[in-house]
Structure 1
Amino acid sequence: MGIFGRKRRPVTEERRGRHAAPDPVEDIEDDDEYEAPLPVVTDGPFDVADAEEDGVPRIDLGSVRVPVPEGAQVQVEMDPEAGGVRAVHVVTAQGQVTVSAYAAPRSGGLWQEVAAELTEQLRADGAKITSGDGKWDVELSALIGDVALRFVGVDGPRWMLRGVIAGPQSQAAEAPGVLRDIVRDTIVVRGDAPMPVRTPLPITLPHAVAQHIAEQQA
């Protein structure tokens, strides 16, 4: 199904980050004696508490509100075993974009760990990997067969946002810009509940989308 969107806002600056597979470390809650510095994002992605009304059309997925560029489509990937939503993808001419949010410690700093782990995993799968400085922090480029991948990550207040675009090599030059635009205009709704660090924030579908999927499945 297609949902309209339009990219806006100037390109943003740097961020620090890390991320990894789930482990039992608990999220750091409010502590009067703990005042770790928070990462600062001046131009997105935004925490819902800091987001202003900007007129950018977004699909509301509960924990993330993701912009959809004009002409792109939204695809919902269901998990047959769990019976829920596995992921929501924004399909553009340059590739398929997936944006995911995770619980993070108040001190930030998950993305560099994740980037290192992703590098190891992708190399084990035979991918060709390169890394370099990006708009927020390190960005990863990977090539698996004819598929080009680009990963970015951003730390926020008690959340970490990861974005990836997968597309043909012929679009590899334009794909990173499309990914950055979507990540930059994403709004994260972390919530106040304590969660283990690296827990994926839950995805909920808009009523109309959920109803459409239910009708298709029926």
Structure 2
Amino acid sequence: MFRRRRREQPEQAGEQEPAVPTRESGPWDADEAHPNTDRIDLGGLRLPHNPDFDVRLASVGDQHVGVVVIYEDTTLQLQALAAPRSSGLWDEVKTKIRAQAKDLEEREGPFGSELTGEINADGGPRPARYLGIDGPRWFLLAVISGKGAFDEAVSEAFADFMKDVVVVRGDDPMAREEPIPLRRPNEQTAETDEHRPGVNPFKRGPEISEIR
């Protein structure tokens, strides 16, 4: 499990107090005012600390491409992707997902439109919810899967978790749907010119690694 990160604070004591957030909750962009709470720093994502959640990195080869959060026999997968300045990606990604899982239904959830239903997974059908949040030059895809996907208490716990996530897009040029680089805590992000894979929520393959 990831270790706790110290409370986010200004580097110099003489700096003025952080600005008050203009929204009630996130996911937050790193450049907007957001609450200074305990978070796990993974580079492109800063995740709230919750001792009940087991947080792991999902990797393809030597690239960390997402996060898996385990709680109550249910998983939350998070992937932050680069998006165009002019438009979001959620409408486009929803179309891709529905092309592969035609029985999913669209409904309104805590973050707007989401897809719900069952998907085919190892061991048979599995309940799933797909949520998408469009941010400034980034897109956050969340997939809740398992028996807790439609359990109100578990779903609410995951929603509260997502509302305090911070996305760190950075200023580097990135291709559309390119995963925003992640790293283990206290680890420098390796520079690479190799193209990172775009989003494919049904593709098998990420290696899940636990950090202690």
TM over 0.5: yes
Large movers: runs of 4+ above 4 Å:
2-5, 213-216
- Whether 2:145 is the aligned partner of 1:166: answer yes
Structure 1 counterpart of 2:116:
141
* Distance (whole Å) between structure 2 residues aligned to residue 108 and residue 93 of structure 1: 35
Q: Distance in 2 between matches of 1:48 and 1:2?
A: 20
* CA apart distance, 1:120: 1.2
Q: Which residue of 2 aligns with 1:83?
A: 62
Kindly report the root-mean-square deviation, in angstroms, between the aligned alpha carbons of the 2 structures: 2.9
Taking a change above 3 Å as real, the CA distance of residues 42 and 108 of structure 1, as seen in their structure-2 partners, is farther
* Alpha-carbon distance in 2 for matches of 1:214, 1:182: 19
- TM-superposed deviation, 1:74: 1.6
Task: Please give the alpha-carbon distance, in whole angstroms, between the structure 1 residues aligned to 2:45 and 2:211.
Answer: 24
1:71 aligns with 2:49: no
Report the Cα offset of residue 85 of structure 1: 2.6
Amino acid corresponding to residue 98 of structure 2 in structure 1: T
- Aligned position for 1:52: 34
8 Å CA contact 1:97–1:165 kept in 2: the answer is yes
How far the C-alpha of 1:163 sits from its partner, in A, is 0.9
Q: After superposition, give the CA deviation of every residue in 1:98-126 in whole Å (9 maximum; x if it has no partner).
A: 11111111123210111121111123xxx
Q: Is the 8 A contact 1:89 1:96 kept in 2?
A: yes
Stretches of structure 1 that go unaligned for 5 or more consecutive residues are 6-39
Q: Return the structure number with greater helix share.
A: 1
2:199 matched residue in structure 1: none
The Cα of 1:165 is off from its aligned counterpart by: 1.1
1:76-114 deviation per Cα after TM superposition (whole angstroms, max 9, x unaligned): 3343xx233343211111511111111111123210111
Aligned length: 171
Percent identity between matched residues is: 33
Once the two structures are TM-superposed, the CA of residue 196 in structure 1 deviates from its matched residue by: 1.5
Q: Which runs of 5+ in 2 are unaligned?
A: 6-21, 188-208
Aligned-residue offset at 1:146? 4.4
Secondary structure of the 1:131 match is strand
Paired AA for residue 59 in structure 1: I
Higher strand share: 2
CA contact (8 A) 1:99 1:163 kept: yes
Normalised to the residue count of structure 1, the TM-score between the two structures is 0.67
Counterparts of 1:161 and 1:63, CA distance in 2: 11
| Secondary structure at the counterpart of residue 207 of structure 1 | coil
1:115 aligned to 2:94?
Answer: yes
CA contact (8 A) 1:139 1:153 kept: yes
The separation in 2 between residues aligned to 1:115 and 1:190, in whole angstroms, is: 22
1:8-40 residue CA offsets vs partner (Å, 9 max, x unmatched): xxxxxxxxxxxxxxxxxxxxxxxxxxxxxxxx9
CA deviation string 1:39-69 (max 9, x = no partner): x9652111111143432x3221111112243
TM-score by length of 2: 0.69
Q: Take 1:103 and 1:154, find their aligned partners in 2: how far apart are those partners?
A: 12
Match of 2:17 in 1: none
- Provide the rounded CA distance (Å) in 1 between the counterparts of 2:176 and 2:115: 22
Contact 1:72–1:90 at 8 Å: present in 2 too? yes
Aligned in 2, Cα 1:64/1:44: closer, same or farther, shift over 3 Å?
same
**Cα offset, 1:133, TM superposition:** 1.7
